[in-house]
Structure 1
């Protein structure tokens, strides 16, 4: 469905043959399926997803309402085949827009990546107000970034731990117990703790209940692997102190993930984070998975040190590029 005058469709001859470059506010089911197919082809070729879970959620027909200026860019070759896709989402007030893009593996090194970048630059709020992710630090993305004047401003590590080594022990603080997430009851409490724990984080810190419910609809969601640390109140209620939301990636090599680990700032410093981490790891190991991974900012040295002590090692890196003077 094309929405209003904000949709742009145009022709470009900067690639081999005539190319249709098409901006859309909303993707209909056919176009969404095309994009998902393109992404899946890239995953099969590169062994890493070219877009985040956040973008995949935007491709679902029942996705939460996107920000007003969120856009989808589709680029086709002269046979009408979908050659590339980019997603552009505005940042918070005063922050740059953030984009993710992918080119079909069979159509790389033919200029479609450059076409996507050119479209993103045109629609961004300004020449210095755009950041672009490269998941897995693909060398083709590095070449494209250099060619268009982008430089690395952020790196997100993926760390991995095999389950063939024993897990250390850790105890919950006194008076705290673990229980699984209950769909329809715990969303608001999780959002409150999440936004307090990640108030500093550009992607994680502004969730609402719709964000949680959207992930509940994903095929990987399992409430049994969504562990909540609660303290019972004298009146019989309970207070959520933190949570460990685990995830299982299906595929040729199923692997677990520390999806989100959040601890309320008022409950930090007493060992709850470590106990929650290990509880989630034990849950994933009990599911028969061979290994687990997590994401961490490359400059978060205290967190990296903690994860190394738990047996995690650097696996690969997602890189964010920008055409600005920001660090």
Structure 2
């Protein structure tokens, strides 16, 4: 018998159980079950609604709603061993009943079950986020730096405000990335994976920040030390006034070479909007091919 519990935020015990549930789903599905920013909000007590489904005392699934930039977004996860039993449908129905207005619901991996639930509840497939990957051993083309441009690494405590300005300008039309705050950046800096040695900044002769390539290295999927790791083009942005100068190409190459040089990194990955044909062509020329897809379903306000 499944019981659904509603609260404003997950309690510490449920967060611990949810982390273990996410680990089980990651092992089965081969990908993270939650977006980084939404997972942080769920564990930091910043959700608007939190639902947990208990089945005979075990956590069968959970769903939550949190702010994602200027949007309200939702995540839903069911234990791999309890899928196909209606838990996801119950969680989604309860979530939609209790949350009014516009809502974006993520499906990581574009599962057929998610498509079925979306149709059943009248949700529109509104956005596709593609994950691309390439073999880290494939050489990265040599690219000369633009005239007067140098690349250095990020300095915590010094570069935050400059990065926030360029990030906001570069992603002005992006619903999540462009609205990142100083608090968000400090939270990322506190993460175990954060390494300023892999956070590259392109500056001009006066020291003005023109663009950046923030990389991330994911731990081994098995969780075992010494396992293979995946390097990610986490965020790549160029100030609008520096477009067309080759800053983005040079930063991309610098970050890819760095990731490929790190111990245990055998694959490189990145995310790109499905409708961004120009960016996809650039990455395809660098050897990236589609690996996975995340879909955002939309309910209008």
In structure 2, which of residues 220, 231, 255 is the aligned counterpart of residue 251 of structure 1?
220
Instruction: State yes or no: 1:76 paired with 2:54.
Output: yes
Gaps of 5+ in 1: 1-16
Q: For the residues of structure 2 that align with 1:215 and 1:92, how far apart are their CA atoms?
A: 15
Instruction: Give deviations 1:196-229, integer Å, cap 9, x for gaps.
Output: 1001001111111111111111111111001111
Q: Flag the 1:130–1:59 CA change in 2: closer, same or farther, 3 A.
A: closer
Q: For the residues of structure 1 that align with 2:147 and 2:134, how far apart are their CA atoms?
A: 28
What is the match of residue 17 of structure 2? 34
Higher relative contact order (CA 8 A, sep 6+): 2
Q: For the residues of structure 1 that align with 2:5 and 2:150, how far apart are their CA atoms?
A: 52
Instruction: Give deviations 1:128-168, integer Å, cap 9, x for gaps.
Output: x2221111112221222223222311111111111232211
Is the partner of 1:20 in helix, strand or coil?
Answer: strand
Instruction: State yes or no: 1:113 paired with 2:88.
Output: yes
What is the match of residue 209 of structure 1? 182
Is the partner of 2:180 in helix, strand or coil?
Answer: coil
Instruction: State yes or no: 1:52 paired with 2:35.
Output: yes
Is the partner of 1:175 in helix, strand or coil?
Answer: coil
Q: For the residues of structure 2 that align with 1:195 and 1:92, how far apart are their CA atoms?
A: 11
In structure 2, which of residues 205, 209, 218 is the aligned counterpart of residue 240 of structure 1?
209
Cα RMSD after superposing both structures: 1.8
Runs of 4+ in structure 1 over 3 Å off: 90-93
What is the match of residue 102 of structure 1? 77
Q: Flag the 1:92–1:262 CA change in 2: closer, same or farther, 3 A.
A: closer
TM-score (ref. length: structure 2): 0.92
**Larger radius of gyration between Structure 1 and Structure 2:** 1
What is the match of residue 200 of structure 2? 227
Q: Which moved more, 1:82-91 or 1:163-172?
A: 82-91
Gaps of 5+ in 2: 222-227
What is the match of residue 151 of structure 1? 124
What is the match of residue 4 of structure 1? none
What is the match of residue 63 of structure 2? 86
Name the one with the larger helix percent: 2
Decide whether the 8 Å contact of 2:42 with 2:66 is kept in 1: no
Q: For the residues of structure 1 that align with 2:41 and 2:113, how far apart are their CA atoms?
A: 25
Q: For the residues of structure 1 that align with 2:269 and 2:85, how far apart are their CA atoms?
A: 34
